[in-house]
A = this chain, B = another copy of it.
Amino acid sequence: MAESNLSPGADAVRRYLIGLQASITGAIAEIDGTPFLSDAWQKEPGETLQGQGITKILEGGPVFERAGCGFSQVRGPKLPPSATQHRPELAGAPFEAMGVSLVFHPRNPFVPTVHMNVRMLAAKGKAGKEVCWFGGGMDLTPFYGFEEDAVHFHATCKEALTSFGDDKYPRFKTWCDEYFYLKHRSEQRGVGGIFFDDFSELGFDDSLAMLKSVGDSFLKAYLPIVERRKNTVYGERERAFQLYRRGRYVEFNLVWDRGTHFGLQSGGRTESILLSMPPMVSWSYQNVPAPGTPEAALYSQFLVRKDWV
């Protein structure tokens, strides 16, 4: 599947995505001092979904307890419902999807968890016309909130989008707040960032340029925060709160996330989709922090919709 059937521009996107995965995992491996395991996989002939990918994962490092970054390129006979909520005319159309998706779970509770995804979808509609769109974004999930981290992350996201129109950051920031929301908890997943989907309004070339700008900004947005927080001293209390809060990440991804459902519904590769799961998580009943604590401040000052820049 080096050649794409559905989109003539797909090869350039593929090369970009593989390079992005390499540069991000390279930087993370360096900061951690641990190499990523690299696992190239291919769907068996005869499976509903055809395709291949490269899963890169670092587990048990001193800085990152679990950091997964996957590239995948899959092709299927029928777009699943989760992908066509906003494009009903393409329901059941043959499709091709490729993207890079990552979730990094740091060990130190003062370093936030982060997620980034850039992807392209191409589908052939009933009239035989090919439709191609992009999606992606990044968002930050702290356990202990620091305003300067949230501001830096958002400012970097905003800068990545500036040359594509002033409307993009505010739209995608709001979209992110709406998307990464745990309805069953009435709670934001974290301090947000940017999120977009079904994006093709700038035409193929400029929409792709925007996607690349987002992907290329990820390390600028996240690494300074890791460097700043990774040596902060913590104890059992902070560790326990981190493990508890990671449960929200699991709840969001398994209950609400469209990408996870798309993957699991369409017969994607489970171990690659669930790279996003934390290495260690806990649940406990009615775990509500005492007023005035930093844990309480996370809920009241950070897990809320706010203009950070």
Question: Could you tell me which A residues sit within 8 Å of B by CB distance?
Answer: 37, 39, 55, 57, 59, 66, 68, 183-185, 243, 247, 250-251, 254-255, 264, 270-271, 273-275, 277-286
Report copies per complex: 2
In the bound assembly, the distance between CA atoms of A247 and B247 in angstroms comes to 11
Q: What 17 additional pairs, Cβ within 8 angstroms, besides A247-B277, A271-B285?
A: A39-B285, A55-B285, A66-B283, A68-B285, A184-B273, A250-B250, A250-B281, A255-B255, A255-B264, A274-B283, A275-B285, A277-B283, A279-B283, A279-B284, A280-B280, A281-B281, A281-B282
Q: Could you say which residues of chain B place their CB within 8 Å of the CB of A39?
A: 285-286
Q: Judging by beta carbons under 8 Å apart, are B271 and A286 in contact? A: yes
In the bound assembly, the distance between CA atoms of A39 and B251 in angstroms comes to 23
9 closest residue pairs by CB, A with B: A254-B254, A277-B283, A184-B264, A184-B270, A281-B281, A57-B285, A280-B282, A254-B255, A271-B286
In the bound assembly, the distance between CA atoms of A133 and B183 in angstroms comes to 29
Q: Could you say which residues of chain B place their CB within 8 Å of the CB of A254?
A: 250-251, 254-255
Could you give 25 example pairs across A and B, Cβ below 8 Å?
Answer: A37-B285, A39-B285, A39-B286, A59-B284, A59-B285, A66-B283, A184-B270, A184-B273, A185-B270, A243-B280, A247-B277, A250-B250, A250-B281, A254-B254, A254-B255, A255-B264, A271-B285, A277-B283, A278-B283, A279-B282, A279-B283, A279-B284, A280-B280, A281-B281, A281-B282
Q: Could you say which residues of chain B place their CB within 8 Å of the CB of A274?
A: 251, 283
* A255 (CB) vs chain B CBs: closest residue: B254
In the bound assembly, the distance between CA atoms of A57 and B284 in angstroms comes to 10
Distance to closest chain B CB from A263 (angstroms): 8
Distance to closest chain B CB from A246 (angstroms): 9
In the bound assembly, the distance between CA atoms of A39 and B286 in angstroms comes to 10
Q: Could you say which residues of chain B place their CB within 8 Å of the CB of A185?
A: 270
* A246 (CB) vs chain B CBs: closest residue: B281
* A58 (CB) vs chain B CBs: closest residue: B285
Q: Could you say which residues of chain B place their CB within 8 Å of the CB of A281?
A: 250, 280-283
In the bound assembly, the distance between CA atoms of A251 and B263 in angstroms comes to 14
In the bound assembly, the distance between CA atoms of A284 and B37 in angstroms comes to 12
Q: Could you say which residues of chain B place their CB within 8 Å of the CB of A264?
A: 183-184, 255
Q: Could you say which residues of chain B place their CB within 8 Å of the CB of A68?
A: 285
Distance to closest chain B CB from A179 (angstroms): 17
Q: Could you say which residues of chain B place their CB within 8 Å of the CB of A66?
A: 283-284
Q: Could you say which residues of chain B place their CB within 8 Å of the CB of A279?
A: 282-284
In the bound assembly, the distance between CA atoms of A285 and B264 in angstroms comes to 16
